[in-house]
Amino acid sequence: MKESEKLLLDAVHASLRAGEEILEVYSSEDYEVRFKEDESPLTLADRKADNLINEILSATGIPYFSEEGKKTPFEERSGWERYWLVDPLDGTKEFIKRNGEFTVNIALIEKQTPVMGVVFVPVHKQLYFAEKQTGSYKIENVSDKDNFSSLDKLLARAEKIEANRIIKNFRIVGSRSHLSPETRDYFKKLQQEYGEAEVVIKGSSLKICMVAEGKADIYPRLGPTMEWDTAAGHAIALYAGCSVLQFDSGESLVYNKPDLLNPWFVVRSCAFEETE
């Protein structure tokens, strides 16, 4: 088995196991909500999922970096050729609201670019995954009985996704809990350019995945996000034929920066690009 195949299977396995841990807490209503230094909520589910993913992926020998874990200084991580970048529970606010729009995000970063990504939606049993050489895929109704012991078995259950939607009714996706005034203004600008544009509101990395699978044409994020929020979804979008570009410069979104805060960015489908 190729190393890339094994790493992808490890990441998928870790995401599914973490999803089980999250759902146990979700159904117990014992969230143990705490608040981090930036006042964002941290739940028992975040911590349990992070510990489990770290345990599984540490066996790969690749450095592990997550939102909930130790914040490794740049002086150390700048020497990493590749590393796991993880958000064990993306959309904690959606988790607390109990709307199901939260995900497990696992990405493998090489040279500041995600070369692999896994996004799992525990409540809806949806699994997105992508790898540079393989492309982007989605599996509906993932079962605990699914045996993904090889890439062939994983792909046999999956549907390839590509962002090749033909634009008829232009669709914009935005954040459910973090919709900034600047984003609203940009929505209005797009609606003026494309006529009756539909706006869809979603939580977590599901917004990026919607563009990747052709269910939306553009996702502008004119507000703060961190690298772990976007890396896995970035991989899903990138290998489905989307662009993930910084809003001001038009350059690709990059990772392992000294400052882990992302600049504003826009995810666009290839269909959208062709209309420009």
Can you give the residue ranges of every domain in the chain? 3-160, 171-275
What are the backbone dihedrals phi and psi of residue 153, each rounded to the nearest 5 degrees, phi first? -70, -35
DSSP string spanning 179-200? --HHHHHHHHHHHHHHSS-EEE
Helices 3-28 and 44-57, packing angle to 10 deg: 160
Cα 27 to chain centroid distance, Å, stands at 23
C-beta of residue 203 within 8 angstroms of C-beta of residue 177: yes
C-beta of residue 137 within 8 angstroms of C-beta of residue 123: no
Compute CA distances 270 → 194, 195, 212, 217, whole Å.
16, 19, 9, 8
What is the DSSP secondary structure assignment for residue 226, as one 8-state letter? B
Reply yes or no on whether the pLDDT at 133 is more than 80.
Answer: yes
How big, in percent rounded to 5, are the helix, strand and coil portions of the chain? 35, 25, 40
> Would the pTM count as exceeding 0.95?
no
Contacts of 217 (CB under 8 A, 6+ apart): 165, 167, 170, 171, 172, 211, 268, 269, 271, 272
Reply yes or no on whether the pLDDT at 18 is more than 70.
Answer: yes
What is the DSSP secondary structure assignment for residue 262, as one 8-state letter? P
Nearest partner of 96 among 38, 176, 37, judged by Cα: 176
Region of poorest pLDDT, from 12-26, 131-145, 185-199: 185-199
Taking domain 171-275, whether its CATH number is 3.40.190.80 is answered by: yes
Q: Token digits for 126? A: 């949806």
pLDDT, one tens digit per residue, over 233-256 is 999 999 999 999 999 999 999 999
Q: Token digits for 261? A: 């805060």
Reply yes or no on whether the pLDDT at 79 is more than 70.
Answer: yes
Residue listed under structure tokens 């209309």: 275
Class of domain 3-160: alpha beta
